[in-house]
Structure 1
Amino acid sequence: MTVQLVRIGRELPEGFDALRAEADAEGHRHMSRLAADMAETPEMFTALLAAFEDGELVGIGGLTPEPAAPSARRMRRLFVTARARRRGVARRLASALLEEALHQTRTVTVHAGNPGAERFWEAMGFEAVENRPWTQAFRAD
């Protein structure tokens, strides 16, 4: 498996419609929200990365300012196709976004939508947070 990470500009990459359809079929609305975000305010993303395997889009993830804590950054809209899961694609995307975020801030947040996502983020070094608009946070020492 050769995965290439590519920075996305103002337009979503070829293959995004299939990625969104898969996410929607699984009950995840964040790829539809990403399409709306990019149509309305693409500048909200300080980074947006796509993961390609053999030329096919298999994942995507973004980074924005954290609305509730402007000095922090939030990772959002992370999705990997079912066929690319458990092969390190999400970890590569999240690691690249985290590395970029830590050049801008000491705190990175995420909002995990389910227990599996919570376990993923905790494995990435994020800690559970209560009473905040996010569910996990990574704090650099």
Structure 2
Amino acid sequence: MTIDIRMIRDRLPKEIADLESEARREGYRHITCLVDEWAAGDTRFERDGERLLGAHVGAALAGIGGMTVEPALSGALRMRRFYIRPAMRRRGIGRMLASGLLDHARSCCSIVTVHAGNAGAAKFWESLGFQASERDGHRLDLQGPSFTPQSP
């Protein structure tokens, strides 16, 4: 299985509708928010440090994830709109997508935050070195010692 991580710039991939539908069936609305905010021009991942990536397996969009400026913490970025299709989970796709975003973040900020929506998501982010924080949800200090992701 070949995983291709691609930057999304000018328009959302057409397969986003299927991803959104799957997320909604699971009770998640953050992909719907992504689509709505993109259409309105509110969030296009265009500010300094921001980025939106798609993970493709063959022609299929397996997942998506982005980072935006963290409004509550100066000099930080926030992981947002992160979702991997259920059938594609536990194959390393989420880890590759998150690593791509974190590699980019290291060049432009010192802290990355994420608001994990559930215990499973929290466990995933913690395996990447994020630590629970009352103020920020989960937080990763990029200036600290290099993290070594734990096995899932």
Q: Secondary structure at the match of 1:57?
A: strand
Structure 1 pair 42–58 and aligned structure 2 pair: CA distance change class (3 A): same
| Per-residue deviation, 1:44 | 4.0
1:79 to 83, 86, 95: 83
Alignment of 1:25-64 (within 5 A): 25-40=25-40, 41-45=42-46, 46-64=50-68
Taking structure 1 as the reference length, what is the TM-score of the superposition?
0.94
Structure 2 length-normalised TM: 0.88
* Partner residue in 1 for 2:15: 15
- Please list every run of at least 4 consecutive aligned residues from structure 1 whose deviation after the TM superposition is greater than 3 angstroms: 42-45
- Is 1:3 matched with 2:3? yes
**What is the letter of the counterpart of residue 129 of structure 2?**
G
Measure the CA separation in 2 of the matches of 1:136 and 1:67.
Answer: 15
Secondary structure of the equivalent of 2:74?
strand
1:105-135 deviation digits (Å, cap 9, x = unpaired): 11000000000000000000000001x2x31
**CA distance, structure 2, for counterparts of residue 136 and residue 116 of structure 1:** 13
1:65 and 2:69 are equivalent in the alignment: yes
Match of 1:123 in 2: 127
Task: Report Cα offsets for 1:61-93 as digits up to 9, x if no partner.
Answer: 001000101310001100000111000000000
Instruction: Give unpaired runs (5+ residues) of structure 2.
Output: 145-152
Q: Which amino acid aligns with 1:38?
A: W
Match of 2:102, SS state, is helix
Aligned to 2:96: 92
Q: Secondary structure at the match of 1:70?
A: coil
Unaligned runs of 5+ residues in structure 1 are none
For residues 56 and 24 of structure 2, the distance between their equivalents in structure 1, rounded to whole angstroms, comes to: 20
Higher helix share: 1
